[in-house]
Amino acid sequence: MKKYLYSNIVGFIAIIFSSIFSLQACAQEESTRGLDKQVQVDTTASLDDELNEEELALLADDSNINIAFADKALQVEFADSFEERALGLMHRKSLCTDCGMLFQFDSERIASIWMKNTFVPLDLAYITVDGSIVDIKQLQPHDLNSVVSSQEVLFALEMNQGWFAKNGIKVGDKVSIEGRVKQPLF
């Protein structure tokens, strides 16, 4: 009788633990689904709808900067904080013809960028502290491979894929960056 009672208790405890683990797994799955829903973006939504309030606040702070090449001047978004650089152009479904983002790093470094949660194919120009373009690389949407600069740079400029070629801008060209550029920490 004791043996029977003991095996029933052990079985009952096993059922309780498996139920608890099952409920915990379901709760984690629901939590993950909730996060996925927050990250998913309606393809018909405008840019303001695609970024949450915190992300928009990051970009609104000092969102644009003027840059100029030999024959082309434009205004692009400016990402000079860790949070802005981490957000980058994520969740955008498109960019206007001359739209892009200039990233400024805290100091000159071998830089790397990936395309997590980025829907738009981009060109990436790595730029030194004196404004020289040292690399122009193509980036594919959602590619998690890091694209590394060939030498130390202070800036990276992301534009629509093909933009640099279309505008005759190549490695070795100079870009002038105006406005709120932080002094590099050497």
pLDDT at 124: 95
pLDDT at 9: 58
Q: Which two tokens stand for residue 122?
A: 């981009």
pLDDT by residue, tens only, the chain of 186 residues: 555 555 555 444 545 444 444 444 444 444 334 433 333 333 333 344 455 555 555 445 458 899 999 989 999 989 887 788 788 777 888 888 999 999 999 999 999 999 999 899 999 999 999 999 999 999 999 999 999 999 999 999 999 999 999 999 999 999 999 865 555 544
Integer Cα distance of 143 and 7 in angstroms: 53
CB 167 within 8 A of CB 69: yes
pLDDT at 94: 86
pLDDT at 82: 78
pTM of the entire predicted model: 0.64
Domain ranges, ordered by start, for the chain: 1-40, 48-177
Q: Which two tokens stand for residue 45?
A: 């939504």
- The SS3 of residue 104 is strand
H or E stretch covering 159? strand 153-160
pLDDT at 120: 92
Integer Cα distance of 186 and 18 in angstroms: 57
Integer Cα distance of 150 and 52 in angstroms: 34
Residue 22 burial (CB < 10 Å; 0-12/13-18/19+)?
Answer: exposed
A 10 A CB-CB count for 10 gives 10
- For domain 48-177, give the CATH superfamily: Protein of unknown function DUF192 (2.60.120.1140)
Angle at Cα 7 formed by Cα 2 and Cα 11, nearest 5°? 150
pLDDT at 160: 94
